[in-house]
Amino acid sequence: MSNWHEPILFGFTLITFVLGISSLIMSFLPTPEGHNVMQSKVEYSFFGVAALALFAVFVYALVTA
């Protein structure tokens, strides 16, 4: 029971990976004409890249733990 932080860190790692990949996929999907198309693509891309950067930090924390 002394390694309780590693499973929690693994869960955060998995969540950030799924969030990053899904946000990047959503940035490539077509959006309806009524919405601001470029703004939504930039927002989804930003959240995707930010989540993947956080994923890299969590992987580094898992490797060094």
Mean pLDDT over each residue of the chain, to the nearest integer: 89
Report the number of distinct structural domains present in the chain.
1
Q: What whole-number distance in Å separates Cα of residue 19 and Cα of residue 5?
A: 21
- Global confidence as pTM: 0.83
Q: What is the mean pLDDT of residues 34-60?
A: 91
Which domain covers residue 29, as residue numbers? Answer: 5-64
